[in-house]
Amino acid sequence: MCPAPLMPDQDRGYIIPIGGGEDKVKEMQIHRKFLEIAGGPKADIVVIPTASRLESTGPDYNEIFHDLGAGEVEFLPIERREDCENPAYVEMLKRATGIFITGGNQLRLSTILGGTPVAQTIRRRNAAGVPVAGTSAGASIMSEHMIAGGKSNAAPSGGGVSLSPGLGLTNAVVIDQHFTQRNRLGRLLSATSHNPFLIGLGIDEDSAAFIGPDDVLEVVGSGMVTVVDAGSLSYSSMWQASKGEALSLLGLRVDVMSEGCTYDLAKRQAYPPDANHND
């Protein structure tokens, strides 16, 4: 699934995967930056808490964005696929200047939203310039290829990760979250080994990758974003590895970036803070 086509003379909106566990009490740096991009006091934020089974998730994020000064905040109480057919929910998304997808279970999220009018509207709104942020499960589902499962704290191996279709807001990356905290490097390496075209983004808790319309991401938050680039891979044993068998992956490039660092997804190049991307 490719990203929705752009309208003439229109830039795509920011795509903002967050690693989960973001600060919701003190500085709330990630939420503040998302809200600023979405319009600040004029923003109309729509929260999608479907990945979570907690009834408090939607109201909690409503309160966060209200307290930060958003003009309007609403959440969509989507629990079943038929809820995604509700024309009122589609209209809310069409009015939104920012869309926020919460954490929980990414397979619950994809099986309820996938292919519905709500999912189609999210894609079209992002193509029309509306920023879409997602935390934890909401981050994973943003890409065309979504990490649906796999062992944490494990070496890269055959069958070490399971993939399923995501929303397809970007087809350039595959995203993992709670990255350092749950030691998920092995499963991200397994994911990128399936197709070296993909760039792996491992996003720590309280950290986000703000991916702009120019395909340059900026790291925001207290943790790190780890970039795994298999584009220059010289050898991979993935094609012949049996389930659980250790992989050989030669020629990988890994960049570890903290706040202020940027990464050009088109050039596959990392930059320190305040660097000139035209160098």
Domain ranges in the chain are 15-267
Q: Given this model, what pLDDT does residue 6 score? A: 75
Three-state DSSP at 62 gives helix
Quick check: 229 and 244 in contact, CB under 8 A?
A: no
Angle, vertex CA 191, rays to CA 105 and CA 49, nearest 5? 20
Active-site annotation holder among 22, 190, 193, 205: 205
Position 196 scores a pLDDT of 85
Q: Note the pLDDT tens digit of each residue in 146-193.
A: 999 998 999 999 988 999 999 999 999 999 999 999 999 999 999 998
pLDDT tens-digit map of 88-121 = 999 999 999 999 999 999 999 999 999 999 999 9
Provide the pLDDT for residue 79. Answer: 95
Can 85 be counted among the known catalytic residues?
A: no
Q: Of 178, 190, 193, 218, which residue is the catalytic one? A: 178
pLDDT of residue 146: 95
Q: For position 197, what pLDDT does the model report?
A: 87
What is the tens place of the pLDDT at every residue in 206-237?
999 999 999 999 999 999 999 999 998 999 99
- Could you tell me the end-to-end alpha-carbon distance of the chain, in angstroms, rounded to an integer? 33
Structural tokens at position 78: 């989507």
Looking at the domain that runs over 15-267, which CATH code has it been given?
3.40.50.880
Continuous segment of H or E residues that includes residue 111: helix 106-113
Sign of the CA dihedral with 38 first, then 44, 49, and 50 last: negative
Question: Is-contact 102 52, C-beta < 8 A?
Answer: yes
- What's the rounded Cα separation, in Å, for the pair 169 and 127? 8
- pLDDT: which is higher, 34 or 276: 34
Residue 144 in this model has a pLDDT that exceeds 70: yes
pTM of the model: 0.94
Which listed residue (52, 110, 136, 157) is catalytic?
Answer: 136
Neighbour-count burial of 55, counting CB atoms closer than 10 A to its CB (0-12 exposed, 13-18 middle, 19+ buried): exposed
Catalytic residue flag (residue 236): no
The reply to whether 136 belongs to the active site is yes
Please report which helix (H) or strand (E) contains residue 110, including its range.
helix 106-113
Q: Is residue 276 predicted with pLDDT exceeding 80? A: no
